[in-house]
Amino acid sequence: MSENRFDPSQADGRWQHAWAEAQCFEADSNSPKPKSYVLEMFPYPSGRIHIGHVRNYTMGDVLARYKRMQGFEVLHPMGWDAFGMPAENAAMEKGVHPGGWTRENIANMKAQLKRLGFALDWSREIATCEPDYYGQEQALFLDLYESGLVYRKESAVNWDPVDQTVLANEQVIDGRGWRSGALVEKRKLSQWFLKITDFAQDLLDGLDGLENWPDKVRLMQENWIGKSTGLQFHFRGSNFDEEIEVYTTRPDTIFGASFVAVAAEHPIAHALADTDHMAAAFIEQCRAGGTTAAELETAEKLGYDTGLKVTHPFTGHELPVWIANFVLMEYGTGAIMAVPGHDQRDFDFATKYDLPIPRVIAPSEADAAKPFANGEAEPGDGVLVNSDFLNGLSIEDAQVAVVNRADHEGWGHGKTVWRLRDWGVSRQRYWGTPIPFIHCGTCGVVPVPKDQLPVVLPEDVDFATPGNPLVRHPTWKHVDCPKCGAKAERETDTLDTFVDSSWYFLRFASQPADKPFDRDELAKWLPVEQYIGGIEHAILHLLYARFWTRALQHIGLIDFAEPFASLFTQGMVTHETYSRVDPANGQPIYFSPGEVDRSGEGAVLQADGSPVDIGRVIKMSKSKKNVVDPDDIIDQYGADAVRWFMLSDSPPERDLPWSVSGIEGCGKYVQRLWRLFGQYDAGAEGEDKALDRKTHQTIAAIADDIEGLGFNKAVARLYELTSAIEKAKPSASRSTAIRTLVQLVSPMMPHLAEEGWVAIAGEGLVAEAAWPEVDPALLVEDEVTVAVQVKGKLRDTLTVAKGLPNAELEALALASEKVQRILDGAEVRKVIVVPDRLVNIVA
């Protein structure tokens, strides 16, 4: 065996088939073993698995295999987040059906995943685009509707003009659609909403219990939920007969208010537009502009003076009312008290339109007349100035004083508000879960009876015209009302795909045909013990999944509130880019790593040998072509080398730079292990106490590393044990260490481990073997290395029994030939002994 090379092209497929035949990874809910649910975020079936997927799934696979070896019944499933716009875009661009395109991609990606030998329970595979999944989702949606957690209303929405659909606020990134990148517009549409705001406090409080979640993710969710306390009050109109309700988190600055601004969608703005064409034109301009608070922070501040004025509740002064593009109707009341001296957004607006900028916060009362420097507001600490009865108070005391006065005088009250808004789930597209409602002219909006679920998407759709083909379908939407039997129409909006991923982890655990899940079955597996995925899902997916779980608990369908006990967010796989400038347009042309030869510090294009520019190491991206195809690497090095590279070097939470030398090194280590496995000798005799200790210390340490997801640490320990075994002389201890090494590497390099298990005559499959047991006695070092110094310089070392008495240590040190040579007969004046560490001889 040791003379042969390990051949992954033969071994990988052989063992993948063996695992499938033995049904090694199919979870048994009725097993008496303790349960462990390991889950990675399921992929969108785009057509190819990328290296980032491989890293994510390798980490989860190592943990799942390790847990199985530790005696757990492990649920480690896989499925497909299969609805969404890319399939519809493919239908429009390539003339294919979204379903066919999606299912073909699933088949391709499933084959890729299988090549990597992941220990997945394929018997529980789900695809969200299949009626047996989304029909159950429709049933859950109706359950939430019946409990009052689903409603429909007309509202201003984020409209993606390219994808022709509504986006949630969380799906608008820097004013652009998160998928299309198109500038998002504001529109008014009737939309379906989920009452996530009913759970705002609970979602916030629940973060404290998620101790095994990254602090960064918890903070991001806390900021998105955005709890704040302040004052809600009204300004009375001084030249019109209405009040303007505002909310502020800084009531202490009320004497610094110099104008009031309302959103373009505010009722006062709408009323003004009916008679003022300039106001109407400005409102239209706002609708075409930014859609989120984040984008409007950086956009130019624009306004329209309405000519209306309100009265300040304390001073009685008149303040002008403006329509402003930076005020959103969705936040607070759609109107703000503008304090330009202490809010940069208000400062920029006031400067542009020459409005007063009073100071009401200063470092001390003596600085009440201090000017604002460098064209910037001062939101910082200090005391109140130029503020009547508030002068000299701290910010906190002033806030309390203003709220108390407002409440006593009846023009305002303290209030807690949330940044979080209800989740708009309507999407104007075909490839999604049909919303199970019917619109009847007589009965209104009627839920589809559950015995008529699923509401299945029609197959015969036309994508020649942009927009939702369900609206144009000649027959699908035309139905009879379930209540009165009159002619009616189906709802043609489909659900946001984040609804699909908000409960899929439940369906993995329990898949009855007649309901979404079995409550008792879920209780065996949930919450997920370890969830792994990218931090880019911190708000969208993870917040929605937490809400959905709470909502199902609220209506009595499940018994837990948090879906994921532990969360790990892995780093990205990165690669340098290769490009050259196109002389025609000055834009870079990118080349894939496979098109480029690296030579020393430079790189050349294989096609013509001409140099290309080497760019930064960045996240792998199709647009930059710095992607590596896992199939190509598996063909060359085998699945285990790829898996090993994913676990090596970088801590798993950090980015992992891809390198050819790195994967080559992993391939060499695979062969090194194979040669070592061939040296196993079942009949070897003799003891190597040091190697025994090293073996057992490695078993214990790697167990801790894998439990803590410190895969790179486990890799380093396996390298150390490999070296120690290679250096050791033949013995029974050495053969035991080799056998242990086969078991220890099996979660990481399972195909190689199975081959090695056969070579050492292991029983059954190593995938079903137990984790090696640790001898606690061998975890304790019984020998130590003691340094011997003469006149402060190291002259020798002694390997002695741990805890050796000081007198014996001193005698051994003085008897050292090296020490005697240095002393050369000189008198020893003093000997300092540090037990188990040091003997210092002073002569």
- pTM here is 0.85
The total domain count for the chain is 5
CA-closest candidate to residue 92, choices 430, 462, 434, 458: 462
Same domain flag for 351 and 256: yes
| Whether residue 432 is found in the same domain as residue 307 | no
Which tens digits make up the pLDDT trace of 728-769?
Answer: 999 999 999 999 999 999 999 999 999 999 999 999 999 999
State the average pLDDT over residues 142-168.
Answer: 89
Angle, CA 328 vertex, CA 324 and CA 333 arms, to 5° = 105
Confidence at residue 767, expressed as pLDDT on a 0 to 100 scale: 97
Residue 813, domain CATH: 3.10.20.590
246 shares a domain with 359: yes
633-677 pLDDT, tens digit per residue, is 999 999 999 999 999 978 999 999 988 889 999 999 999 999 999
* Residues 345 and 317 both lie in one domain: yes
Residue 510's CB: how many other CB atoms inside 10 A?
20
Domain end among 779, 794, 829: 779
Q: Which domain holds residue 733?
A: 678-779
Q: Are residues 715 and 821 in the same domain?
A: no
| pLDDT value of residue 188 | 82
What's the Rg (C-alpha) of the chain? Answer: 34
Mean pLDDT, to the nearest integer, of 479-505?
A: 97
Residues 340 and 394 in one domain: yes
For residue 835, say if its preceding peptide bond is cis, omega within 30 degrees of 0.
no
What's the Cα-to-Cα distance from 325 to each of 43, 195, 282, rounded to whole Å? 38, 27, 9
Reported as a single tens digit per residue, the pLDDT across 30-57 is 999 999 999 999 999 988 898 889 999 9
The answer as to whether 292 is a domain residue is yes
Determine the residue type at 134. Y
Q: What is the pLDDT of residue 289?
A: 66
Per residue in 164-186, pLDDT (tens digit) is 788 877 678 877 887 788 888 88
Band of pLDDT at residue 292, cut at 50, 70 and 90: low
**For position 2, what pLDDT does the model report?**
44
Beta bridge partners of 172: 177
268 close to 242: Cβ distance less than 8 angstroms: yes
Closest CA to 105 of 121, 129, 124, 136: 129
Q: Is the pLDDT of residue 302 over 70?
A: yes
Residues 358/258, Cβ–Cβ less than 8 Å:
yes
CA separation for the pair 465, 472 (Å, rounded): 9
Tell me if 244 is assigned to some domain: yes
pLDDT at 1 > cutoff 60: no
Region 453-476: mean pLDDT is 92
Mean pLDDT of 535-543: 91
Query: Which distant-in-sequence residues (6+ apart) come within 8 Å of 661 by Cβ?
Result: none
583 and 455, same structural domain? no
Going through 103-250 in order, the beta strands assigned E by DSSP cover 121-127, 150-160, 165-167, 172-173, 176-177, 185-194, 227-237, 243-248
Mean pLDDT across the stretch 483-506?
97
Residue count of the chain: 843
Calculate mean pLDDT across residues 235-261: 96
